[in-house]
């Protein structure tokens, strides 16, 4: 019997190529967060997501103000207090301030979400997506993990769970950025490309 593609063996070959292409295109571009690390004073780590530093301080709610320090930046944990984490980044001391009523996380939880023993693997991520992530710019089609790498975790007083389809970030004390997911893909929101 002759099929649209010719013989049965041609159809099988086409199906195999299609299957391999589908599997590669849906998995190779996924970026997953590296494992969280147990915070230890004096130890070196990598940032698990981008942070913004303004005058030596970064808020755990991750306002998008100041200088961007990209994920995979090597840092040293100097100390953890009840409301602050002190890091050394590029020979400068940076204080990450936790306002628990906004993050609804302890400082230790913030440190674990922020730090990893390993870098984020970027193999297979298209260059334009990689550059957007490293520049702190969210793009339509990014996965939830890629958005976290790009922007950090959304504050829990605005987004109770990262399993939700709508996340709300704080750009500063007065402005919010709402983004929407369908499943694991970013499909809408403000200031997206």
pLDDT by residue (tens digit) across 49-73?
Answer: 999 999 999 998 888 889 999 999 9
pLDDT band for 143, please (50, 70, 90 cuts): very high
Look at residue 154 and tell me whether its pLDDT is greater than 80. Answer: yes
Contact call for residues 85 and 110 (beta carbons, < 8 A): yes
Q: 29 falls in which pLDDT band (50, 70, 90)?
A: low
Cα separation, 154 vs 11, in Å, equals 47
| Residues β-bridged to residue 52 | 68
Q: Is 109 exposed, middle or buried (0-12, 13-18, 19+ CB in 10 A)?
A: middle
Predicted TM-score (pTM) of the model is 0.81
CA–CA separation, 124 and 176 (whole Å): 32
Residues 66-113: tens digit of each pLDDT? 999 999 999 999 999 999 999 999 999 999 999 888 888 899 999 999
Domain-wise residue ranges, the chain? 44-116, 127-189
Confidence of residue 12 (pLDDT cuts 50, 70, 90): low
């Amino acid at each position: 019997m002759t099929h649209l593609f010719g013989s049965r063996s041609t159809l099988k070959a086409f199906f195999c190529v299609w299957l391999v292409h589908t599997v590669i295109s849906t998995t190779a571009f996924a970026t997953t967060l590296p494992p969280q690390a147990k915070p230890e004073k004096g130890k070196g780590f990598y940032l698990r997501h981008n942070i913004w530093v303004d005058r030596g301080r970064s808020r755990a709610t991750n306002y998008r103000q100041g200088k961007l320090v990209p994920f995979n930046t090597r840092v040293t944990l100097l100390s953890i207090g009840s409301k602050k984490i002190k890091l050394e980044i590029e020979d400068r001391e940076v204080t990450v301030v936790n306002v628990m009523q906004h993050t609804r996380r302890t400082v230790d939880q913030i440190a674990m979400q922020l730090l990893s023993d390993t870098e984020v693997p970027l193999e297979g991520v298209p260059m334009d997506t990689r550059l957007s992530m490293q520049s702190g710019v969210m793009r339509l089609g990014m996965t939830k993990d890629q958005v976290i790498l790009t922007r950090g975790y959304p504050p829990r007083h605005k987004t109770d769970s990262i399993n939700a389809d709508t996340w709300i970030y704080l750009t500063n004390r007065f402005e919010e950025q709402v983004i929407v997911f369908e499943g694991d893909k970013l499909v809408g929101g403000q200031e997206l490309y």
